[in-house]
Structures are given as C-alpha cells and as structure tokens.
Amino acid sequence: MNSTSEQFLTVEELNRINEALLSSPEKFLTRLTISSLRLLTYIAQEYDLAIEDLTSEHVIIWFEKDSKIKVEQGLEAAYLKW
C-alpha cells in the first residue's frame, strides 16, 4: 500500500462509507478508524509483530523514524506523505 499517492482508503470504501446511513461525524470516525487500522498493520509488519503486540511506544518511535526520514530524505522517501 505504499504508493506515491499514499491512499489508506480505496475509492470503493470511500463510496460505501459516504452511502452509509451515518452522520457526518460517524463517517469521519469510520474513515479514520479504517485508515488507522491500515497504518497500524503496516507498523506491526515493520516491527515483525502481531498488531495486538504493538505498544504506544512502538507507534511513537515509528512516527519519529518516519518524520526523520521525511526531514533527511524528503517527503517521497517517507511512508506518510503529509
């Protein structure tokens, strides 16, 4: 899922969420939750861990590492493109 556009939701998923009988805040939370799951899955793979074994420390260290890559090598070298 590490494409240049770095999408965490497919167009089909976005359409399905938009069509769901949910309020705007619920749709936002749904998009955020699915995207977060995908990112946590990626981070767990980076650490060679099951997602259940990730800790907040793992996540913080991963974000620091990705941010450092962004600063040192540029946006395109980092996993997160924002």
Domain locations in the chain? 11-77
Q: Per the confidence metrics, is the pTM higher than 0.85? A: no
Taking alpha carbons only, the member of 11, 49, 80, 5 closest to residue 41 is 49
Would you say how long the chain is, in residues? 82
- pLDDT per residue as tens digits for the range 21-78: 999 999 999 999 999 999 999 999 999 999 999 999 999 999 999 999 998 898 888 8
Residue the block writes with tokens 């359409």: 15
Question: Residue 67 in contact with residue 79, Cβ under 8 Å?
Answer: no
